[in-house]
A and B are shown apart, each in its own frame.
Chain A
Amino acid sequence: MTPRKTNPPFLNGVPEMLILELLARRPMYGYELVEAIKSATGGSLEFGEGCVYPKLHRLELQRLLAASRDVVGGRTRVVYRCTSKGKARLARSISNWQRVTAAIGQALEGGGRGRAALAS
């Protein structure tokens, strides 16, 4: 089996943000979430699907997500939902992300304020 190519390490923290965003919209089980990530990003971001579960478990441990065993489609599955703590973290992550992307965009366009915004 060839190792799966995933996105480079500069996307650290992005999978967590995406997971929180999608689960804040509605509770989902693992497979459903993986499909939702693909659909939401138009397949541009690739994560090894097996690596999504350890992230879900960590977010659950940090109480950003809550998991429960629910019957979905006639089968018992582990369904994840975003907690209020998770929603607060998501809001912070989105604000940071927007600040960084705006600063990088500006820096790439040759603007002078990019470096200052990145440093703040």
Chain B
Amino acid sequence: MDAQHWLRELRAELGRRRLPPAYLERFVLELSDHITDFLEDRMSTDAKDLHGVFDRLGAPGQVAEVAAKEYRKGRFSRRHPLLMFAVLPILSLPVLWVAYVLCMLLTAKSLGLESGKVDTGTALWQWANACAPFLVVGMLLVPAGLATAIFCRLARRAGVSLKWTIVACFVLALLGGAATSQFVLPTETTKGQLMVGFGVALRPSALQTLQFLLPLAIGGWAVWRQMKGRVGQALSA
């Protein structure tokens, strides 16, 4: 068996274990360097020496098995990508919405805009009323954008396959894109209202289109960055 054949077998074994291409390339490159170093150390291209290095490295299947085990041991997201990048985004978005609403409520309370204590004639109320539509837009865009950025960063740091970044972005785009919200400030006679729901119109509004496109745009940018990093790595190799 020559070095290329051993490395080809290893590559196939790693591929069978579904390790991401970037990880696979780096691993094979380092082992290729290892074989070269071994032969350089002995100043030999002898078949007997080559067999010696393969014996020391281990069988391709055995090495690939250890690599797959270590790869998954590294991070929770690598062991459970489905849970991390398909299920958790669904749970994270409502959590972020609630956090956003709480922030809004606390801000309103600190400004004295509590239900039943409001004077609509004040400049503060007028200003808050003018801001309300922006707060609603913020509620629909900020949590989804933030969640997308967090999951893209997690995927990049864990070094998982790009498909998981894309899955997380699509889940967030669908959930975030279907959300609708309405916010009414309290007046002297009425209470403040915040309504949140889900629904998609046949002809979605510009805001709903933006809600859907924002996670996809952030995801696209993250995937482009990840791919650029990988190409850079391969070139510098």
For the complex formed, measure the closest distance between the CB of B236 and the CB atoms of chain A, giving whole angstroms: 6
* Known A50-B57, A76-B236; contact A3-B62, beta-carbon cutoff 8 A: yes
Contact string, A87-103, partner B, CB cutoff 8 A, digits 1/0? Answer: 00000000000000000
A29 to chain B: which residues have CB within 8 Å? 33
B71 to chain A: which residues have CB within 8 Å? 54, 57-58
B63 lies within 8 A of A48 (CB): yes
Interchain Cβ contacts within 8 Å, total number: 85
Contact string, A23-56, partner B, CB cutoff 8 A, digits 1/0? Answer: 0000001111010000000000000111101110
With beta carbons under 8 angstroms apart, the residue of A49, A57, A69, A75 that contacts B27 is A57
Alpha-carbon distance A30/B32, docked complex (angstroms)? 11
Residues facing A in B7-63 (CB within 8 A) are 10, 23, 26-27, 29-31, 33-34, 37-38, 54-59, 62-63
A61 lies within 8 A of B75 (CB): yes
B27 lies within 8 A of A1 (CB): no
Interface size range on A against B:
20 to 34
Interface size range on B against A:
20 to 34
A78 to chain B: which residues have CB within 8 Å? 26, 29-30, 33
With beta carbons under 8 angstroms apart, the residue of A50, A51, A58, A77 that contacts B33 is A77
A54 lies within 8 A of B70 (CB): yes
With beta carbons under 8 angstroms apart, the residue of A4, A31, A54 that contacts B55 is A4
A55 lies within 8 A of B70 (CB): yes
A54 lies within 8 A of B237 (CB): no
For the complex formed, measure the closest distance between the CB of A20 and the CB atoms of chain B, giving whole angstroms: 15
Give the nearest-CB partner of B28 in chain A: A53
A84 to chain B: which residues have CB within 8 Å? none
Question: Does B73 interact with chain A (Cβ within 8 Å)?
Answer: yes
Alpha-carbon distance A48/B1, docked complex (angstroms)? 18
A34 to chain B: which residues have CB within 8 Å? 34
For the complex formed, measure the closest distance between the CB of B156 and the CB atoms of chain A, giving whole angstroms: 12
B62 lies within 8 A of A4 (CB): yes
Alpha-carbon distance A53/B31, docked complex (angstroms)? 8
* Known A54-B70, A57-B23, A58-B73; contact A48-B30, beta-carbon cutoff 8 A: no
A61 lies within 8 A of B159 (CB): yes
A53 lies within 8 A of B30 (CB): yes
A48 lies within 8 A of B57 (CB): yes
B74 to chain A: which residues have CB within 8 Å? 57-58, 61-62
B159 to chain A: which residues have CB within 8 Å? 61
Alpha-carbon distance A4/B59, docked complex (angstroms)? 8
Question: Does B66 interact with chain A (Cβ within 8 Å)?
Answer: yes
Contact string, B65-94, partner A, CB cutoff 8 A, digits 1/0? Answer: 011011101110000000000000000000
Which residue numbers of A lie inside 8 Å of B, CB to CB? Answer: 1-4, 29-32, 34, 48-51, 53-55, 57-58, 61-62, 69, 75-78
What are 5 contact pairs spanning A and B, CB under 8 A? A1-B54, A1-B59, A32-B37, A50-B63, A62-B74
Given A31-B34, A78-B29, 6 other A-B residues pairs in contact with their CB atoms under 8 A: A30-B33, A48-B56, A49-B56, A53-B34, A53-B67, A61-B159
Which residue numbers of B lie inside 8 Å of A, CB to CB? Answer: 1, 10, 23, 26-27, 29-31, 33-34, 37-38, 54-59, 62-63, 66-67, 69-71, 73-75, 158-159, 236-237
